[in-house]
Amino acid sequence: MDYYPPLKRRVLPPPPQWTKALGAGIVAMGLAIGTGELILWPHLVIKYGLSLLSFALIGIGCQFVLNREIIRHELATGEGFFTTSARIFRWSVFFWLPAALLIYIWPGWASAIGTTLSALFGFGAHIFWSWVTLALVLVLTFSGKAAYGMLERSLKVIVPTFFVILVVISAFNLSWADFIAAIKGTFSFGSWPQGIDINILLGAIVFSGAGGMLNLAFSLWYRDRQMGMGAYAGRITNPITGKNEAIAATGYTFDTSDENTMHTWRNWMRYVTVDQGVIFFFLGFITLFLLSANAYFVLRPMGLIPEGLQVAVVQANIFGNVLGPWGFKLFLVMAFLMLFSVMWAVIDALTRMVSDMIYTNAHAGPFQKVFVPFKRFSMGQLYYAIIVLVVLAGAVLVPLKQPLALLVISGVLSGLTMALYTPLIIFMNNVHLPKPLRPSWFTNIVMVGVAFFYIFFAYKVIAQYIA
């Protein structure tokens, strides 16, 4: 039984021009680079070999398909994943809400940034710099009129800059023989690395892309960019500097019998394919490939393994190998910018997910009495209050663990949630959407394969703990 109001009928707006396709895909790529690509994969490839790149290719390929299907539902309804999930399982909010907090409250990126800045400036403990960067998240968030806009604008500068410098450095560091060996490793499917911890491998596969519930945040990011039927949902605006916009608790639908409307729909799906396929999948994997190959052929002969508190700092030798001390510093600057953007995106995603679930259930559904204390607040007020609490929690947790350990914890928990929500997305898109908007049989087959992939790894992790 659906306890939420039915979707309201509106007209599907046209997609933006192709030249503006550099949107949420650049956020996804930034998330990918700053999680698995910059931290976990170079560490693993040095220790277990280039054949691990085949798992990275599978992981980021799975997430491309997954992101596209998550976004499909947002474009068609203007609803975030969590609202539609509650339409199917009304109690699901009491699972997703604590799960998001448990997975993303850990300040692994803040710790990695702290060690990076400590090495860059040559003074100050990593904890001090971690606290400084967490505070900077709040400063930047509150300086913009719309929560999402500042984040996307920063990544549109940082990600392309990092990518271009990495390509140039790789041309000096790597020979053709190195490139060919790395390419062979990428396509060595079925080669299981001996002695690897399944938890670390799962964390790396999950983070060869956005990872875990961060993929679900794309339904909220696309809605805030007013994509598809999200054009009618409203944006999260700063209650201090921006004009408050009304946010719809539930979504919309449109007439699928009109051919012109369906042509517009197909254009939307092509837009998503470019945004996620070219930017997130292709450029994201090239970045992972180059960082891992540089780590294997440059750092490994030096006897350097990026791990512990130095997980990002050690990789500065990739640039330093060509450009000397100046290159070492340049990598640290770029690593800081990338890791900071990712930390900001993760904090934004967590805050956005928590705010969305609280706001929706305070205004609609069977649990309005539970969430009634929040009904008086706008979405903007909830978002900006919660982001302050998330940053403060991160500041308290920073001294507890090293960044790699924190990210492995987050990765394992993320992988378990992906095993749960991937089948749910298949159901949502094949049952809750009108037939003309549903995925093709080929997409469904691929999604079933993706679901089994995550379920298999979740089983392996659980079986290991039971054993």
- Those residues whose C-beta lies under 8 Å from the C-beta of residue 320, and which sit 6 or more positions away, are 327, 328, 331
Residue 91: CB atoms within 10 A of its CB come to 9
Tell me 41's DSSP state: H
CA angle 331, 337, 342 (to 5 degrees): 120
Residue 198: CB atoms within 10 A of its CB come to 14
- Those residues whose C-beta lies under 8 Å from the C-beta of residue 222, and which sit 6 or more positions away, are 24, 71, 74, 75, 228, 230
Per this entry, what is the length of the chain?
Answer: 467
Q: Determine the 3-state secondary structure of 156 from DSSP.
A: helix
Predicted pLDDT at 148: 62
Predicted pLDDT at 32: 63
Predicted pLDDT at 402: 54
How far apart are alpha carbons 329 and 119 in whole angstroms?
9
Contact 32, 209 (CB under 8 A): yes
How far apart are alpha carbons 284 and 155 in whole angstroms?
13
Structure tokens at 458: 């979740």
H or E element, residue 34: none
CA angle 254, 348, 355 (to 5 degrees): 60
Q: What is the pTM of this model?
A: 0.85
DSSP 376-417: TS-HHHHHHHHHHHHHHHHHHHGGGS-HHHHHHHHHHHHHHH
Structure tokens at 87: 């339409």
Q: Is 117 exposed, middle or buried (0-12, 13-18, 19+ CB in 10 A)?
A: buried
How far apart are alpha carbons 301 and 115 in whole angstroms?
23
Alpha-carbon distance values, 313 to 41, 241, 379, 407 (Å): 15, 37, 39, 16
C-alpha closest to that of 222 among 160, 265, 268: 268
Q: How many helical (H) and strand (E) elements, i.e. helices and strands, does the chain have?
A: 17, 2
Give the CATH fold of the 8-466 domain. Amino acid/polyamine transporter I (1.20.1740)
How far apart are alpha carbons 448 and 434 in whole angstroms?
20
CA angle 305, 328, 174 (to 5 degrees): 65
Q: Is 351 exposed, middle or buried (0-12, 13-18, 19+ CB in 10 A)?
A: buried
C-alpha closest to that of 379 among 227, 151, 223: 223
The gap between the terminal CA atoms of the chain, to the nearest Å, is: 40
Residue numbers of the chain with a pLDDT score lower than 70: 1, 18-39, 144-150, 199, 203, 207, 209-210, 238-246, 305-313, 400-412, 465, 467
